[in-house]
């Protein structure tokens, strides 16, 4: 058996935990803040994946496991630390499944570097209630190639969720950041993905993504000049009512991952002498709202 603890079974953590629970060799524990009775994940073919894993609400009740998936929002990393302290044994590996490009930095004080795996997820998922999740479509789950990545990928073997391993995780993470940074317009306008059909908004998204691409390339990612157009095309191709997690947080009056998605572009842009006025404006407006 492989013991796995998912810290934060929200939209993405719940989707991953739902699939992982389908593998007989996986022994699942959900580490939650808000109690849930079971996991119900509506998956892309319209069927429902249901699971009743062990649920813990108190970090003191947790014991070391083989794998931890840390899937809280980036702004909840510190509160997840109490779980990590309890779940981490001498051989535990930790997959940091979060947006942004700072996975390793965020967990540097919590987990040995060689046992930390950064993971990018490009799957749209939404949570309607605690433990109730809709996975909108299949998408990419990307981790760095290597032994740790290969072991993480094996956890999902036999499920409909495949993990892609890449030799250039930096570029993969920045590619996702370009998409996410443009998604700030959804939080600004309080409108779902369909707002990209407005041509002025599409031009703004393209320009925000272009700033991110320039900064990403300056820090070593290899991103094509065509990426901003691809970003807009992605928003145009998504369901018009699809809500990204920044917008979901804003609508629910929760904190937002603004620093991880746009603030980072401004910070690293400043370090490399690259102007990022649009990302900066978005951060300023949302922080002040």
Ligand X SMILES: NC(=O)c1ccc[n+]([C@@H]2O[C@H](COP(=O)([O-])OP(=O)(O)OC[C@H]3O[C@@H](n4cnc5c(N)ncnc54)[C@H](OP(=O)(O)O)[C@@H]3O)[C@@H](O)[C@H]2O)c1
Spatial CA neighbour of 59 closest among 36, 26, 29: 29
Q: How far is CA 57 from CA 26, 61, 111, in A?
A: 20, 8, 21
3-class SS of residue 208: helix
Q: Nearest distance from residue 31's CB to ligand X, in Å?
A: 5
Binder among 25, 34, 137, 285 for ligand X (CB under 6 A): 34
Tell whether residue 256 is a contact of ligand X (CB under 6 A): no
Angle made by CA atoms 143, 147, 148, in degrees to the nearest 5: 50
CB of 199 to ligand X, least distance (A): 25
Nearer to ligand X, 34 or 189 (CB): 34
Q: Is residue 21 helix, strand or coil?
A: coil
121 binding ligand X? (CB under 6 A): yes
Q: Using alpha carbons only, what angle is made at residue 92 by residues 89 and 98, rounded to the nearest 5 degrees? A: 125
Assess 127 for contact with ligand X (CB under 6 A).
yes
Q: Which of 63, 73, 134, 176 is catalytic?
A: 176
The DSSP secondary-structure symbol of 274 reads: -
Q: What is the DSSP track for 42-110?
A: E-TTS-EEEE--EEE--GGG----SEEEE-S-GGGHHHHHHHHHHH--TT-EEEEE-SSS-HHHHTTTT
Candidates 74, 93, 262, 276; binder of ligand X (CB under 6 A) is 74
Question: Of the two residues 3 and 245, which places its CB atom closer to ligand X in the complex?
Answer: 245
The answer to the question of residue 31 lying near ligand X (CB under 6 A) is yes
Stretch that binds ligand X, among 6-14, 186-194, 203-211, 263-271 (CB under 6 A): 6-14
Active site residue 176: yes
SS3 126: strand
Compute how many residues bind ligand X; rule: CB under 6 A: 29
Instruction: For residue 13, state whether it binds ligand X (rule: CB under 6 A).
Output: yes
Among 4, 17, 32, 111, binds ligand X (CB under 6 A): 32
List residues with catalytic annotation.
Answer: 176
Q: Which residues bind ligand X (CB under 6 A)?
A: 7-13, 31-34, 71-74, 76, 79-80, 83, 98-99, 121, 123-125, 127, 130, 245, 257
């Amino acid at each position: 058996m492989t013991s796995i603890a998912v810290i934060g079974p929200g939209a993405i953590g719940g989707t991953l935990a739902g699939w992982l629970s389908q593998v007989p060799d996986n022994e699942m524990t959900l580490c939650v803040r808000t109690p849930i009775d079971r996991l119900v994940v509506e998956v892309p073919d319209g069927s429902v994946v249901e699971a009743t894993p062990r649920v813990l609400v108190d970090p003191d009740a947790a014991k070391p496991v083989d794998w931890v998936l840390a899937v809280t929002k980036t702004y909840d990393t510190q509160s997840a630390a109490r779980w990590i302290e309890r779940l981490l044994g001498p051989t535990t590996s930790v997959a940091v499944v979060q947006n942004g490009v700072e996975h390793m930095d965020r967990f540097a004080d919590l987990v040995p570097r060689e046992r930390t795996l950064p993971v990018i997820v490009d799957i749209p998922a939404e949570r309607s209630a605690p433990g109730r999740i809709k996975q909108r479509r299949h998408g990419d789950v990307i981790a760095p190639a290597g032994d740790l990545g290969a072991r993480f990928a094996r956890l999902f073997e036999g499920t409909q969720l495949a993990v892609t391993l890449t030799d250039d995780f930096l570029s993969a993470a920045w590619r996702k950041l370009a998409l996410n940074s443009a998604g700030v317009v959804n939080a600004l306008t309080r409108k779902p993905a369909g707002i990209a059909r407005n041509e002025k908004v599409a031009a703004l998204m393209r320009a925000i993504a272009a700033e991110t691409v320039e900064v990403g390339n300056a820090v070593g990612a290899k991103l094509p000049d065509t990426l901003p157009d691809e970003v807009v095309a992605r928003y145009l191709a998504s369901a018009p009512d699809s809500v990204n997690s920044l917008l979901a947080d804003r609508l629910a009056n929760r904190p937002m991952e603004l620093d991880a998605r746009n603030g980072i572009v401004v910070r690293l842009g400043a370090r490399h002498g690259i102007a990022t006025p649009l990302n900066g404006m978005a951060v300023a407006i949302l922080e002040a709202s």
